[in-house]
Amino acid sequence: MWKRFNAGLHEFYVAPYRRVFARAKRDEEDLFMMLVLSEALGLPNPASGMTLELLPEMLDRMHEWHTRQGLEHSPMDGLSCC
C-alpha cells in the first residue's frame, strides 16, 4: 500500500512538468546536434576534432532533427536521409 501511495504522490508532482522536461530535452538535443554538424553546415567549430567522432552516432537522428528545424530535406549535400 505504501508503494502505491508513493507512486501516486510521485505522479502527482511530476505529471505537470513532464511536457516541460520533454521540451527541454529536445531543445538540448537540437543544440548538441547543431554543434556536432556545424562543420558540415558551414559554421566554424572550434571543437571539430572531438565532435567528428560523434557524427556517425548523430546520423541516425538526422531526419528527426532537420524536420523539427523546418527543413524538408537534409541540409548537407552528401547525406540524404529522405
pLDDT digits (tens, 9 = 90+) for 59-74: 778 788 888 888 777 7
Which has the closest alpha carbon to 61: 34, 22, 42, 38? 34
Report how far residue 59's alpha carbon sits from residue 36's, in angstroms, rounded to the nearest whole number.
10
pTM: 0.60
- Residue 28 lies inside a defined structural domain of this protein: yes
**Residue 63 lies in domain:** 18-69
**Is residue 9 a part of any domain in this protein?**
no
* Residue 40, domain member (yes or no): yes
**Number of domains making up the chain:** 1
Q: According to the model, what pLDDT value does residue 42 have? A: 78
Distance CA 57, CA 48 (A): 15
Structural domain contains residue 45: yes
Encode pLDDT of 3-39 as tens digits.
999 999 988 988 889 899 999 999 998 888 888 778 7
Residue 32 in any domain: the answer is yes
